[in-house]
Structure 1
Amino acid sequence: MASLVAYDDSDSDAEPEPLEGLSAAGQVKDACGAVTEGTPEPIKHRLGAPGSLWEGVATHRLPLLPLGRSDQRACPSQRLQWPRKEPAVTCPPREPPCPALWTSHTPTGHVPLAAACFKEPKRSWEACYRPEPAFCTQGKSEVTERNGSSSLKRRQDCVIPYTPKRLRVSAAKGTDTGAGSGVEPQDPSLGCALGPAQSRLAPRVSESIRPHLDSPYQETKVPRNVRFHLQGHGGPVNCVQWCPVLAHSHLLLSASMDKTLKVWDAVDLGRCLRTYTLHTEAVRAARWSPCGQRILSGGFDFTLHLTDLETGTPVFRGQSDFRITTLKFHPKDHNLCVCGGFSSEIKAWDFRIGKVVRGYKAAVQQTLDILFLQEGSEFLSSTDASSRDSADRTIIAWDFRTSAKISNQIFHERYTCPSLTLHPREPVFLAQTNGNYLALFSAVWPYRMCRRRRYEGHKVEGYSVGCECSPDGDLLMTGSADGRILLYGFRTASWARTLQGHTQACVGVTFHPVLPSVLASCSWDGDVKVWH
């Protein structure tokens, strides 16, 4: 029975002629005519070989037709349609001669001839990927290797999209919680509340401060008038501090019992620039970092926060076992801080490891204030011990490295000392007492008290009233429980001037570090005033 399928070679008994360059046994002839054994290489990989008729022809455009037994006798020119020979592309004179396409391991059909002569510039890894901050543990990228090549993966769930400033300003103006309602709009991308004008805290130099930066500090002058009356806190303000960086000392930090921290432009604008709401309870103490880029704060929520000034992001967060009422940076090692509060122990934290590295324990119930001496090798602590036998616990001198007590027989009167301050030029310090006077002590062992000089006239009455010396050391300033601000001559201990500033207790006062006639004060009524 005849087959119904007809093959192409069924009507031809003649043997097909091998193609040029191929032997009958499947051997390959090279350019010199030598015969090599092996399987024939596909035509598209041999058309551009050196010595062939189509050397240099771009083979990625070459169409190939299926070869059958019936058309093998036809002329190769009739079976293949060759494109025109393209002009040779020369490499730039500065570049080394480029290798031919057939010497590359990459198939020529994927690389144009002109592009093969030029090397693609190698991209810098840093330009394509910027590492996340160290405190953002959830946003770290992961690099995985697959088939010998590394690929970058990002977790999209923790990346906060950037909101343009124009949209943030328009959103702040359109919200109901504007300046009229007393609540400042929140910016979720920053984690803090911004002022109505969305002012940035980018480093700049105030025009009022610039003329005083290159000249030495002049004589401190007693201010007379209130230049700015800063309102915005919803509770008593516990402390105020100017930025320690002189070029940025137009910034004023305030901590309040309304659970917030605020940064003000208290020299040029007289308004709030940024509000930080990191604590869940009252903020009792806050300090600028010595570099002026971070804020350290502690409060009644048992937490210690180190916050980035510009972004409002918490760089460090420590959980304490007591309510924090006072804290200070170490004057030499800024990665260390000491904090105390409603506990018999003072703790030293290291931000690099996030742990307590030292403890200083005494038979007291509360630490009121801390003051570093001798460039950080020693520090003083004032406590609430006021009984008859409390002479060894009211003011204690500690060795910072060994946690040992250096002296505990410093203040022998039955008054507590809510605040301490160091003189900027002489080795002495002052202690605010609940006896309504300021006591003067030596800042070196054995820390003797000067009984012939005493600064009286103000009232404390159980408030944590602060005191401070002027940058030149000639004036001493203190608040008062009746709202007054009193200034004394340091050497004469005589009254210099009284400022009627607040309606309730004035608990914080500070001189400006650059401007000779500017000071700031805060009170229990929630107001901050800048005097000039």
Structure 2
Amino acid sequence: MDALRRCYGEAVASSDSEGEVERKRVDAAPHLDPKDVRAKGGSIVSRATTKEGDVHVQGVFAENNHLLGRVDDLAVARTGFETQRREHDRIRRGGGSDPTRKRAKKKTTRDGPNHDPSTDAWLYEDRKSPWAAPGKKEAVERNREDAAMREQAAEEEEEEEDIFAVEKPTGPSEAPVTSTKPSVETDKTVFHGKQEKDYQGRGWSEPPRDRKPIQETCYVPKRHVHTWKGHTKGVAAIRFFPIHGHLLLSASMDGTVKIWDVYGDKRCMRSYMGHAQAVRDICFSNDGTRFASCSWDKKMKLWDTETGKVLGTYSTGRVPLCVKIHPNENMQHVLLAGTSDNKVVEFDTNTGEQIQQYTEHMGAVNTITFIDDNRRFVTSSDDKTVRVWEYGIPVQIKYIAEPDMHSMPSVAVHPNQKWFVAQSLDNTVVTYSTKDRFRMNRKKTFKGHRNSGYACQVNFSHDGQFVVSGDAEGRCFFWDWKTTRVFRSIKAHDNVCVGCEWHPYETSKVATCGWDGLIKYWD
């Protein structure tokens, strides 16, 4: 190739001296026809016409003008020259193919010629129309495949039913499962007191007559005064009897609800047995004569506190995680529940019908808290959001979601009704306004406890001076509302301290419950 280039240079020099053929590019020389430049047998052959009209056929009939042969000027496109040069280099190195050699025909196989990927005609080979009648063999194979698919689907459905045992959920238009009569097999109650009525005919649940005036200032308890024992498993929630607090209601993971005496000998007064699984939440009515309970058995029950009779059973086919009786005096027949299928359902206990659904959440609803004179309520969910609703209208009026927010399994309202606090699972207690904007008050963030992964209850003292919360390590924390500093912490339980309630009448006493199955009273 180097020798060819040297010859090409000498030919250019000789042609310049003799002036036989004018050396120009093909695209710049009008007297050169690009069609005359062609390749033949791997060697370049061209036809050039001089200004005088003489025709010279280079490399064929021309006489030698060089020691190595005939060398004349040639005009070739750069791309064509480089392509042919690279092809000859590949041939010399043993790779590539000779462009002058004819390509062999495509080989055939037993199944026929190889498919050409540039066309899609082969896709339709040996393919029948879907409306064509199947042959006998094809019909048998298709029937076998259908039968195998049906058997597999049936086995999968049986496995899902065995694992989850989920009942068919009722739609908004379907009537919920209700029962106004207690079941003899499941709904039971046992009275543990001395007598259900005294000599004057008063029931055991009536408040005492000799109560003292309520103190305005609350004090943080210092010592342990009593322990209630009776549950065989952990206690999930506790509630004091409204206003008077002479009774304490407890819900346990053993599926029972018990009520305890607080003023007298502190014995268990009555046990309510009607749930097949652990009880999740409980709620008193305003007068304390009734209470509602919800359980992991997907049922909500309304109980008579004194007699232990089940007044109604309600279900949506999903697990209710929280239950709330409307706090208005004229709305005591309304029962709300947050369920595991991302809804807040509303029942009328007089008729036993489901009357409303609130369906904006993307996760299980954990809490229902009424604010603004009970005209609105706040819900928190596993979707890490807080939503505010106008009661009776299933459209949210406020949506609170931040990138750094966590799930909030417990919410409590300040006694002045201007703020509510929420137990955040990042080991903090956060504060929000109850007014129209529902802004977060970042100055009112309470830290120091460890509650990540546990739904520990948060609560207020009745004068609003202290915030109280349980802890994953069994401690009970008390914060000062104004300074947000830890005022005191006590080791309440050996396991998780789930619930804490400030006594509504004796303002220096607090009750706590935990997963150790104990309920403790502090003063």
TM score, norm. by length of structure 1: 0.61
**Equivalence for 1:505:** 496
CA distance in structure 1 between the partners assigned to 2:271 and 2:417 by the alignment: 37
User: What do residues 99-136 of structure 1 show as CA deviations (whole Å, max 9, x unaligned)?
Assistant: xxxxxxxxxxxxxxxxxxxxxxxxxxxxxxxxxxxx97
Indicate the SS of the match to 1:273: strand
Deviation at 1:362, TM superposition (A): 2.1
| Residues 4-57 of structure 1, C-alpha deviations (whole Å, 9 max, x = no match) | xxxxxxxxxxxxxxxxxxxxxxxxxxxxxxxxxxxxxxxxxxxxxxxxxxxxxx
Q: Counterparts of 2:464 and 2:444 in 1: how far apart (Å)?
A: 16
- Alpha-carbon distance in 1 for matches of 2:432, 2:408: 13
CA contact (8 A) 1:284 1:300 kept: yes
Aligned to 1:202: 204
How far has the Cα of 1:355 moved from its partner? 1.0
Q: Provide the C-alpha distance between the structure 2 equivalents of 1:268 and 1:225, rounded to a whole number of angstroms.
A: 19
* Matching of residues 115-514 of structure 1 within 5 Å: 191-195=188-192, 197=194, 202-206=204-208, 210-212=210-212, 215-246=213-244, 249-332=245-328, 333-386=331-384, 394-409=385-400, 411-514=402-505
2-structure distance, mates of 1:426, 1:298: 27
CA apart distance, 1:315: 0.9
Q: Which ranges in structure 1 are unaligned for 5 or more consecutive residues?
A: 1-134, 139-157, 161-185, 387-393
Q: Secondary structure at the match of 1:284?
A: strand
**Is 2:181–2:311's contact at 8 Å kept on the other side of the alignment?**
no
Residue 304 of structure 1 contacts residue 320 of structure 1 at CA under 8 Å; is this kept in 2?
no
Give the deviation of 1:338 after TM superposition: 1.1
Counterpart of 1:369 in 2: which secondary structure? Answer: strand
Q: Any conservation in 1 of the 2:342–2:363 contact (CA below 8 Å)?
A: yes
CA distance in 1, matches of 2:472, 2:433: 27
Deviations 1:57-77 (A, max 9, x none): xxxxxxxxxxxxxxxxxxxxx
Retained in 1: the 8 A contact 2:431–2:440?
yes
Match of 2:135 in 1: none
Return the alpha-carbon distance in structure 2 between the equivalents of residues 351 and 525 of structure 1.
34
Shift of 1:303: 1.0
SS of the residue 1:450 aligns to? coil
Which residue identity lines up with residue 235 of structure 2 in the other structure?
Answer: V
SS at 2:444 equivalent? strand
Once the two structures are superposed, what CA deviation does each residue of 1:292-339 show, in whole Å capped at 9, x if it has no partner?
A: 111100111111111111111111111222111101111211111210
Deviating 4+ runs (over 3 angstroms) = 135-138, 196-201, 203-207
Q: Per the alignment, do residues 345 and 137 of structure 1 end up closer, same or farther by CA in structure 2, a change over 3 Å counting?
A: closer
- Does the 8 Å CA contact 1:237/1:525 hold for their aligned counterparts? yes
Shift of 1:224: 1.4
For each residue in 1:383-402, what CA deviation from the matched residue of structure 2 results, as whole angstroms up to 9, or x when unmatched? 1114xxxxxxx111112121
Q: After TM superposition, give the deviation of residue 216 of structure 1 in Å.
A: 4.1
Partners of 2:397 and 2:180 lie apart in 1 by 41
Q: Assess if the C-alpha contact under 8 Å between 1:377 and 1:401 holds in 2.
A: no
Contact preservation (8 Å) 1:469, 1:477: yes
C-alpha distance in structure 2 between counterparts of 1:343 and 1:310, whole Å: 33
Once residues 471 and 288 of structure 1 are traced to their aligned partners in structure 2, the CA distance between those partners, rounded to angstroms, is 18
Larger CA Rg, structure 1 vs 2: 2
What is the aligned residue count? 338
Q: How far apart, CA to CA, are the structure 1 residues paired with 2:402 and 2:419?
A: 14
- In 1, Cα distance between equivalents of 2:208 and 2:278: 31
Shift of 1:256: 0.7
Asked whether the 8 Å contact 2:248–2:259 carries over to 1, the reply is yes
2: distance between equivalents of 1:196 and 1:205? 15
Q: Distance in 2 between matches of 1:427 and 1:482?
A: 31
Identical counterparts, % of pairs? 27
Q: Secondary structure, in 3 states, of the residue corresponding to 1:415? A: coil
The 3 A distance-change label for structure 1 pair 489 and 351 is same
Aligned-residue offset at 1:196: 6.7
Determine if contact 1:410/1:449 at 8 Å carries over to the other structure.
no
For residues 350 and 281 of structure 2, the distance between their equivalents in structure 1, rounded to whole angstroms, comes to: 21
Instruction: State the 1:236 CA deviation.
Output: 1.2
- Deviation, 1:363, is 4.3
Contact (CA 8 Å) 1:299, 1:323: kept in 2 or not? yes
User: In 2, are the aligned partners of 1:518 and 1:530 still within 8 Å (CA)?
Assistant: yes
Structure number having the greater helix percentage: 2
Offset, 1:257: 0.8
SS at match of 2:373: helix
Q: Specify the code of the residue in structure 1 equivalent to 2:463.
A: D
Structure number with higher relative contact order (C-alpha < 8 Å, ≥ 6 residues apart): 2
* Partner Cα separation in structure 1 for residue 243 and residue 495 of structure 2: 31
| CA pair 412-425 structure 1, distance change in 2 beyond 3 A | farther
Indicate if the aligned counterparts of 1:228 and 1:266 stay in contact, CA closer than 8 A.
Answer: no
Q: Match of 1:452, SS? A: coil
